Amino acid sequence: MPYSTRSDLPDSVKHVLPAHAQDIYQQAFNSAWQQYKEAEDRRGDDSREEVSHKVAWAAVKKEYEKGDDLKWHPKR
């Protein structure tokens, strides 16, 4: 289920990521949702939703990191 807006994201994303990171997450999730719609396009037994969430978090982690304060900050 792609996310139409940032406010549609899961609470586990909305409550921990800054706005820009949420945008990255949303775009990556939606892209992965389209890319991995067929089971044969995915590795292992992960569902389409699981794969899309993994891709989205990986995209966020390219530009953001969790600091000592447990908040997400842009990488320098």
Asked if CATH classification 1.20.1260.10 holds for the domain at 18-37+46-76, the reply, yes or no, is no
Phi and psi, residue 74, nearest 5°: -60, 140
DSSP letters for 22-67: HHHHHHHHHHHHHHT-SGGGSSTT--HHHHHHHHHHHHHHHHEEE-
Residue 40: what pLDDT?
87
Single-letter code of the amino acid located at 24: I
User: Where are the chain's structural domains?
Assistant: 18-37+46-76
Predicted pLDDT of residue 76: 86
Confidence of residue 1 (pLDDT cuts 50, 70, 90): confident
- How high does pLDDT run on average in the chain? 95
Dump pLDDT digits (tens) for 31-51: 999 999 998 889 889 999 999
- Look at residue 48 in the predicted model and tell me its pLDDT: 96
